[in-house]
Amino acid sequence: MNSAVAHSPTLLVHGGAWAIPADAAAAHLAGVRKALETGYALLSRGASALDAVEAAVTVLEDDPTFDAGRGSFLTSDGRVQLDALLMDGGRMKAGGVACVERLRNPIQAARLVLEESHHVYFVGDGAEQFAQAHGITLIDNSELVLDRERERLIIAKRREAAGFGDDTFSGIDTGVPTDRSSSVGWDTPLLPVLHDDKSPETAVLLSQVDRSSSAGAPGPSHLGTGESMNQTSSTCHDSHDTVGAVALDTRGNLAAGTSTGGTLNKTPGRVGDSSLIGCGCYADNLSAAVSLTGWGEPIMKLVLGKWATDRVASGTTPEVAAREAIAYLFNRLGGHGGIILLDPDGRFGLAHNTPAMAWGLATSKGLQTGLTV
Ligand code: ASP
């Protein structure tokens, strides 16, 4: 970018989008604040956006509050499998790892891939070997597993055995169609919500339509408003805390990073959106930097990160593009999640259609954190 003009550094982080229970609120706010403090201290000393994003995401990975690093959700066979991506919008370099089990900080391995490899993405054992060859100590997977998560997995499996879907991400919207002819924007639900039968959340959505058909349909969706949803299921209170950060440095460069333990009870080997370029993470100085959270399958099918940054490149403000992206996610595939988006001018957007999303913003004016937008 223009190196003659000093840009005002900005850092935006998220700690996952879903229903953050009241007793976990303080930990989420403290976690995103610490990530902001660490990352912004670097930015204000002139460090790169990439360094700030890596540092902020490392703090969040180290905090067991979040579904990243230690304390992540478990796979169906009781292990932690992590995915992470880091992208440098100035150099257009990216590094990703997926299905790693022996790395404490997958975002740091992603940084090594970005800097040291002519490849962009490594998975499983190959990713771990690459990290080890570049100085990262491999740990035992059990060091990443918490009893809290063992218990959560037992409950998820009981629910599964009893025939309940994983409704962690699904809201209670029925996708009741509305007339699009008068619609001017993505905030209006489209007709119809398409049901993808490979999507677990669609299965839940449909079963909820069935259940509610005699009782009357629930109200409209909450597209980027952060309004509370009338959850009907106890598991809806589980938080789901993939982490991410986007930053703008003083030289005008953008970077983005996303790190996750994925979804609860996932089949080993499953990879979600978080670490896939253009899906859960993307950065390009010519458009914007983005990190997403939410049910990965719909997000990846829509390549939603790139979708959002393309809209910024076409002139939409990040504030509007963030809302539009979440609206598109819901209207097209019934998906739920959250997004942070930052452009090269420091303009930003945050949106979610889940009851909560832990977020934090650091600029020259100070730090702000919140659980809804
Ligand atoms: N998007 C992540 C995944 O599907 C989960 C999350 O964001 O919480 O793996």
- 44 CA from centroid of ligand 1 (Å): 30
Over the stretch 187-202, which tens digit does the pLDDT of each residue have?
334 333 333 334 445 4
Task: For the chain, give every domain's residue range.
Answer: 10-145+239-370
Asked if residue 67 has its Cβ within 6 Å of ligand 1, the reply is yes
- Asked whether 14 lines ligand 1 (CB < 6 A), one says no
Specify whether domain 10-145+239-370 bears CATH 3.60.20.30.
yes
> Which positions are annotated as active-site residues?
242
Tell me which of 149, 235, 264, 274 to substitute to probe ligand 1's pocket, judged by most ligand atoms within 8 Å of the beta carbon. Answer: 274
Would you say 221 and 171 are in contact if contact means Cβ atoms under 8 Å apart?
yes
pLDDT at 194: 38
Q: Are the C-beta atoms of 247 and 7 separated by less than 8 Å?
A: no
Residues forming a β-bridge with 10: 248
What global pTM score does this model have?
0.84
pLDDT at 353: 95
Who's near 254: CB < 8 A, 6+ residues apart? 49, 89, 90, 246, 247, 248, 283, 284, 285, 288, 289, 342, 343, 344
pLDDT at 177 (0 to 100): 30
CB 16 near ligand 1, within 6 Å: yes
CA pair distance 49, 172, nearest whole angstrom: 38
Ligand 1 closest atom vs CA 262: 9
The reply to whether ligand 1 has any atom less than 6 angstroms from the CB of 240 is yes
Please give the distance, rounded to the nearest whole angstrom, from the Cα atom of residue 184 to the centre of ligand 1.
30
Cβ–ligand 1 distance for 244 under 6 Å, the answer no
- Nearest residue (by CA) to ligand 1, atom 4, is 296
261 lines ligand 1 (CB under 6 A): no
CA 60, CA 330: separation in Å to the nearest integer? 27
b/e string for 344-370 if b means 16 or more Cβ within 10 A?
Answer: bebbbbbbbbbbbbbbbbbbeeeeebb
pLDDT one-digit tens code per residue, 246-303? 999 999 999 999 999 999 999 999 999 999 999 999 999 999 999 999 999 999 999 9
